[in-house]
């Protein structure tokens, strides 16, 4: 019987955001454009979503936001640093106003006893580097990322204990044109997905090297879903192992063991999708492995056997917010195909709701890697309604978090080292797929896709609920 009861005393309670999704001020105080400014301008034209120019106006309202975080009782806050705000051209001269913003933000957090947990990269590569050499498809990006990372890690060497490095490499592989700017001429070359990932692995290893030099801890933030077999047929069991190898362990084995997962790598080679690896790359990656795992967990997935002759497909999505409107599932002939799990309910965007799956993830990964874990994203994207009396009754989000926090507690009591819970998101923000229609925040931002209005902050019902949760250190759910 485990002697551990409940959450540890110094457990980190907070929430998360990313730079381009909340800051706005996309062209203010010398900031250069990022690929997300361009991608989101295009999405505005195509789908009518908001662009990133104002977002949640956090750049101007960060003090008000931090006061609200304090009111909720946060002891941590995960945010990301915009590379193009600090190096508008991606390299070269530092933009003093840009770095000053993060000095001010970090100071404000520390003055309020909130542990700042920055992410070095959350999808927003400086546009200048896309123009210069195509961005992440080029190996040149590794040295530029390393220079940016070194600068900020040393700048904040006395302030930061936990750095999260690159956000969601596996999601970048799956949804590469949404997360990276990929010219149309390259979009049929799917090997580039894994080449980009290899460049990110080198970039991430460089960041870990500097993080360790200053005595801090490094953790990659990966979009992570447990993957179940559709049935207990041996073929489906093997397919789910293959899917876990290629979609999950292929990343974690690199971060924590310094090598590519063998079966997944062999599959990619046979399919002509494996990255080009240069001499010395694997030694460099193996020399700079990470210390903790930052988990972005929203849902679980399901896989089944896939015949050899099937057509290869990449992950589909639901853009409409109407259940069942998925455009398709990832299919790797002879290896696995993803499918819906008939046992689970979903969000309006077809993301399976599965708190037990989170418990499974903690348990599985602790056994495999023995590393501390923190939740750096977990949340329910929903249509929120601002009622006529100025309230947001988001009990569906409370239910979702209640169950995921309870799963976290069970994992801790089973002996897993979980050190923090920072759900998505602290404030409403620009969704990567659905603008401001799909909301995640504890704090409502009064704006629409078409009209940023004043971006007034309004406490949702989940705000008050989370305040009680934190106050009771996770006992009062
Ligand atoms: C994660 C990302 O993949 O999921 C976030 O790190 C993102 O940036 C979140 O916002 C939710 O996805 P979406 O598409 O609903 O915004």
Domain edges within the chain: 12-299+358-471
Strand-pair category, 293-296 with 373-377: parallel
- Top mutation candidate among 316, 431, 433 for ligand 1, by most atoms within 8 Å of CB: 431
The Å distance, Cα 432 to ligand 1 centre, comes to 5
Q: How many whole angstroms separate alpha carbon 336 and alpha carbon 238?
A: 8
Q: Establish whether 343 is a catalytic residue.
A: no
The residue whose two tokens read 């259940």 is 323
Q: Which atom of ligand 1 is nearest to the CA of 223?
A: 3
Tell which residue, 339, 332, 334, has the closest CA to residue 230.
Answer: 339
How much is the ipTM here? 0.99
Instruction: Determine which one of 23, 115, 168, 330 is catalytic.
Output: 168
Q: How many whole angstroms separate alpha carbon 259 and alpha carbon 203?
A: 15
Task: Supply 59's token pair.
Answer: 């750049």
What pLDDT score was predicted for residue 2? 60
Q: How many whole angstroms separate alpha carbon 217 and alpha carbon 230?
A: 38
The Å distance, Cα 382 to ligand 1 centre, comes to 12
- Taking CA atoms only, the protein residue closest to ligand 1 atom 16 is 431
431-448 residue pLDDT tens: 999 999 999 999 999 999
CA angle, residues 145, 433, 422, in degrees to nearest 5: 65
Ligand 1 close to Cβ of residue 168 (< 6 A): yes
Considering the segment(s) 12-299+358-471 as one domain, its CATH architecture is Alpha-Beta Barrel (3.20)
Do 373 and 419 meet the contact criterion of CB atoms below 8 Å apart?
yes
234-244 residue pLDDT tens: 999 999 999 99
Q: Establish whether 168 is a catalytic residue.
A: yes
Prediction pTM value:
0.97
CA max distance for the chain: 64
3-state secondary structure of 442: coil
The Å distance, Cα 119 to ligand 1 centre, comes to 14
Tell which residue, 2, 45, 57, has the closest CA to residue 455.
Answer: 57
Do 418 and 411 meet the contact criterion of CB atoms below 8 Å apart?
yes
Task: Supply 454's token pair.
Answer: 């004043």
Do 59 and 453 meet the contact criterion of CB atoms below 8 Å apart?
no
- Taking CA atoms only, the protein residue closest to ligand 1 atom 3 is 223
What pLDDT score was predicted for residue 90? 98
3-state secondary structure of 231: coil
Q: Which residues pair with 397 in a beta bridge?
A: none
The Å distance, Cα 462 to ligand 1 centre, comes to 19
What pLDDT score was predicted for residue 1? 52
What pLDDT score was predicted for residue 327? 86
Ligand 1 close to Cβ of residue 167 (< 6 A): yes
Cβ neighbours for 448, distance < 8 A, ≥ 6 positions apart: 50, 436
The segments of the chain whose pLDDT lies below 50 read none
What pLDDT score was predicted for residue 4? 80
What pLDDT score was predicted for residue 166? 97
């Amino acid at each position: 019987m485990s002697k551990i009861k409940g959450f540890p005393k110094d457990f980190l309670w907070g929430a998360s955001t990313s730079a381009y999704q909340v800051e706005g001020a996309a062209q203010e105080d010398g900031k250069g454009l990022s690929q997300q400014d361009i991608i989101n301008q295009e999405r505005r034209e195509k789908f009518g979503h908001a662009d990133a120019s104002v977002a949640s106006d956090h750049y101007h309202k960060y003090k008000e936001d931090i006061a609200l975080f304090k009111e909720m009782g946060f002891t941590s806050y995960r945010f990301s640093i915009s590379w193009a705000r600090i190096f508008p051209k991606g390299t070269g001269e530092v933009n003093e106003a840009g770095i000053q913003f993060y000095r001010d933000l970090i100071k404000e957090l520390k003055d309020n006893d909130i542990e700042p947990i920055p992410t070095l990269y959350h999808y927003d590569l400086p546009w200048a580097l896309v123009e210069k050499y195509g961005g992440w498809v080029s190996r040149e990006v590794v040295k530029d990322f390393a220079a940016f990372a070194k600068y900020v890690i040393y700048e904040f060497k006395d302030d930061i204990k936990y750095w999260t490095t690159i956000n969601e490499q596996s999601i970048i592989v799956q949804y590469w044109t949404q997360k990276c700017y990929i010219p149309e001429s390259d979009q049929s070359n799917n090997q580039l997905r894994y080449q980009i990932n290899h460049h990110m692995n080198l970039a991430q290893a460089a960041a870990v090297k500097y993080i360790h030099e200053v005595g801090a801890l490094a953790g990659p933030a990966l979009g992570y879903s447990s993957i179940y077999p559709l049935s207990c047929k041996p073929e489906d069991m093997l397919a789910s192992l293959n899917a876990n190898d290629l979609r999950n362990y292929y990343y974690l084995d690199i971060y924590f063991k310094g090598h590519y997962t063998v079966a997944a790598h062999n599959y990619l080679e046979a399919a002509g999708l494996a990255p080009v690896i240069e001499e010395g790359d694997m030694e460099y990656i193996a020399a700079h492995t990470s210390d903790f795992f930052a988990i972005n967990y929203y849902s679980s997935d399901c896989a089944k056997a896939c015949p050899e002759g099937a057509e290869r497909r990449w992950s589909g999505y639901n853009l409409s917010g109407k259940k069942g409107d998925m455009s398709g599932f990832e299919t790797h002939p002879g290896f696995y195909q993803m499918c819906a799990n008939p046992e689970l309910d979903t969000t309006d965007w077809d993301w399976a709701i599965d708190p037990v799956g989170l418990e499974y993830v903690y348990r599985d990964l602790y056994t495999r890697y023995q590393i501390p874990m923190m939740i750096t994203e977990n949340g329910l994207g929903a249509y929120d309604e601002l009622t006529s009396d100025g309230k947001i009754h988001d009990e569906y989000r409370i239910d979702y978090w209640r169950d995921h926090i309870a799963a976290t507690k069970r994992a801790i009591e089973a002996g897993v080292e979980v050190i923090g819970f920072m759900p998505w998101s602290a404030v409403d923000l620009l969704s990567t797929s659905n603008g401001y229609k799909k909301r995640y925040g504890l704090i409502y931002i009064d704006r629409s896709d078409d009209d940023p209005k004043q971006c007034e902050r309004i406490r949702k019902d989940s705000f008050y609920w989370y305040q009680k949760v934190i106050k009771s250190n996770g006992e009062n759910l």
